[in-house]
Amino acid sequence: MRYAMQVQYIGKNYAGSQIQLKDGVEIELPTIQGELEKAISTLISGDTANNNRRFKTVFSGRTDRGVNSLGQTVHFDIDKPIVASKFVYQLNEILPKDISVSNLRLVDSQFHAQKSARCRHYRYIFVNRKCKNAFDGDLMRVKFDINIERMQKALNYLIGEHDFSSFKSSGTLNPSTVCNIELAECKKTGDKVIIDIAGNRFLYNMVRAIVGTLLEIEGHNLPAEHMKQVLDACDRTKAGQTVSPYGLTLIEVTYN
């Protein structure tokens, strides 16, 4: 039997979502997957040994150190039925306070959290204010004035299917650099700027590089068309810096 669930987490205390390997051996770093598999194993089999994870999980995609999630989709297989409400409650009692699960459901055996995904929606939030505030938390603070209309015009150039090599960090493992972006919007609420980007797939650090390019446009008072020039160049050196992971959240993963 295959079950899928949504996982929420605050990524600040973890080295990314996925367990990391070196020469086929797991690196002892705190990860969302490691904590989740340990908790599932403890709940189902009573196994509390950190290195004996019987119940492997598959994530819809990898998120980096510091990135949060409201809707990470995860599937796992088990040979007996689960009472969803009881399982979710007990699992949340075991998990660390910065990880939670919801919406556990039985899915078809052909369902795959990563391969079956149609669209992934990310949101980046930063503060646009000169002075700091104690409640800003880990959000990036941008001191210069933001022209939200120009930012939106720049984002519009990303809509559709393009080669996003200019926004690809060196750690990208998949050689394919073509992505189809369905949504690219920004708005300002008070002193917070919210950027929503959704597409079929994303390259390593792609959203953070896009935000960095937007800030380069704003910081140097460049025309919005600069975004298209960067996109067409297919050259990472033409884009802005990769901004802080704090403020980036995986909002939702949708399936056909």
Rounded percentage of the chain residues whose pLDDT exceeds 90: 86
28 class by beta-carbon count within 10 Å (0-12 exposed, 13-18 middle, 19+ buried)? exposed
pLDDT on residue 51:
45
Eight-class DSSP state of 31: -
pLDDT on residue 171:
62
For range 186-213, the mean pLDDT: 97
Does a structural domain hold residue 89? yes
Cβ atoms < 10 Å from Cβ of 207: 24
* Whether the predicted pLDDT of 147 surpasses 50: yes
pLDDT on residue 50:
45
At 75-125, the pLDDT tens digits run: 999 988 999 999 999 999 999 999 999 999 999 999 999 999 999 999 999
* Whether the predicted pLDDT of 25 surpasses 80: no
* Whether the predicted pLDDT of 52 surpasses 70: no
* Whether the predicted pLDDT of 146 surpasses 70: yes
* Whether the predicted pLDDT of 255 surpasses 90: yes
* Whether the predicted pLDDT of 19 surpasses 90: no
123 and 233 co-located in one domain? yes
**Number of compact structural domains in the chain:** 2
Does a structural domain hold residue 251? yes
* Whether the predicted pLDDT of 54 surpasses 70: no
Domain boundary among the residues 107, 133, 168 is at: 107
* Whether the predicted pLDDT of 46 surpasses 80: no
What is the residue whose two structure tokens read 């089999």? 45
Does a structural domain hold residue 171? yes
Residue type, 32: I
Domain boundary among the residues 60, 75, 107 is at: 107
183 and 130 co-located in one domain? yes
126 and 216 co-located in one domain? yes
146 and 247 co-located in one domain? yes
Is residue 64 among the annotated active site residues?
A: yes
Does a structural domain hold residue 112? no
Read off the pLDDT band of 172 (50, 70, 90). low
129 and 69 co-located in one domain? no
Rounded CA separation 67/188 (Å): 21
pLDDT on residue 27:
80
For range 22-28, the mean pLDDT: 76
Rounded CA separation 182/138 (Å): 28
Mean pLDDT, the chain, rounded, equals: 93
207 and 90 co-located in one domain? no
Residue environment code for 97-135, b if the CB has 16+ CB neighbours within 10 A, otherwise e: eebebeebeebeeebbbeebbebbbbbbbbbbeeeeeee
171 and 87 co-located in one domain? no
Q: Which CATH number characterizes residue 236's domain?
A: 3.30.70.660
192 and 66 co-located in one domain? no
pLDDT on residue 96:
97
Question: Domain range spanning residue 152?
Answer: 118-255
Does a structural domain hold residue 113? no
177 and 222 co-located in one domain? yes
pLDDT on residue 163:
97
Chain centroid offset of residue 241 CA? 18
Rounded CA separation 104/18 (Å): 20
Catalytically annotated residue among 47, 64, 77, 145: 64
